[in-house]
Amino acid sequence: MLNNIYKKIDELYPETVERRRYLHQYPELSFQEMKTAQYIADFYEELGIPYRTKVGGNGVIATLKGGKPGKTVGLRADFDALPIQDKKDVEYKSKVPGVMHACGHDGHTSTLLTLAKVMKEFQDELPGTIEFIHQHAEEQVPGGAIAIVESGALDHIDAIFGTHLWATTPLGKLQITRDVFMAGADRFEITIKGQGGHGAYPHETKDSIVIGAQLITELQQIVSRRIDPLETAVLSVGSFHAGDTFNVIADSAKIIGTVRYLNVSIQEQIIKEIEKIIKGVCVASEASYEFNYSKGYPPVVNHKEEALLVMDAAAKVDELHTIEEMKPSMGGEDFAYYLMKKPGAYFFTGANKEGHDYPHHHPKFDFDERAMPIAAKTLISAYFEFQNR
């Protein structure tokens, strides 16, 4: 049956591409994806597959119950976009100013919808039940996954699998880990409150820019000098803003950055170290501060058995010439919440578009659409592997 499913997925490739390009032209930001959710719901309505809307917010979950007994497995795709102006020169570029699918979620959605259409044809022969999980708001904390989990909509499933079309990985390569796959991703904001004044009389001020610059330098020593070298962590400052003109010393400065980690104990250590450094620098400079630390998505931790299962499943997909166990990615993903609740695995499906090497979240981001049927085949192959285990 699997070969017949693969053949049908290939037959629907033009439709998969057409659907993806439509979604690409009409992106919606996180927590605002009402029209996209309706598009997904209408698709399942037409197929005659039962579905639920407004799951945990704008989520849509469709349920295909097979004609044979078996387990219940969730397959997940996200569908929100990013606040980025699309600068690609293609006929399907975004028609919404300042919003684009710059991470492949349009491709994830079209892939899962195609798979649902194919599996509807094989429903009588299908063992178990597929839950097609269309998740909103992956790009913005607190994300849609945690709300879907907390809604109880997935309490009954036995496992969950998902993939990300990965534009920096060659087409035909699948990447996965047996444990930590992606990092926890947090955000911090520091406001330095000094005392402004004339640029000609710095001795009469408490220069928030100098204090902030010193602080940024000190923060970089957390990972290099205070964290065990065998642990993995990143602390990056992405924004440093103070002042408006050349001859005025700024009264305050704001620093915004991110922390990435694989081990929760390291996360807690970094939080404590950041505040110690802020306090020390500000006390020495007679300045005050505000420190806000927001914990984002926890690390994505694959379950070993399910990860091995995905590798076995991928070996059945002819288009995959390389199945690679990779080092963890320091990117973040709220698929983490599903794996904290249920067994499963998350993996990258190579989708690099030759000659178009723009990374995720770039204004010219795009991917090789031939990755979509590969992703669909791998997901359904993993489904059958789990049923047969």
Q: Which residues participate in the annotated binding site?
A: 103, 105, 139, 164, 361
> Phi/psi class of residue 57: alpha, beta or left (left: φ > 0; alpha: ψ in -120 to 50)?
left
- Residue 80 annotated to the active site: yes
Of 1, 3, 57, 9, nearest to 29 by C-alpha is: 57
Residue type, 315: A
* Beta-sheet pairing, 159-166 with 180-182: unpaired
Residue with tokens 């349009």, as numbered in its chain: 106
Q: Which residues contact 322 (CB under 8 A, 6 or more apart)?
A: 170, 172, 173, 174, 350
Of 388, 378, 272, 372, nearest to 13 by C-alpha is: 372
Number of neighbours of residue 184 by Cβ within 10 angstroms: 24
Residues annotated within a binding site for Mn(2+): 103, 105, 139, 164, 361
Residue with tokens 């997925």, as numbered in its chain: 9
The torsion angles phi and psi of 216, rounded to 5 degrees, stand at: -60, -45
End-to-end CA distance of the chain: 17
| Alpha-carbon span 262 to 182, nearest angstrom | 7
Cβ 101 vs Cβ 27: under 8 Å: yes
**Catalytic residue, candidates 138, 186, 368, 369:** 138
**Catalytic residue, candidates 80, 333, 334, 369:** 80
Helices of type H across 122-207: 145-150
Q: Catalytic residue numbers?
A: 80, 138
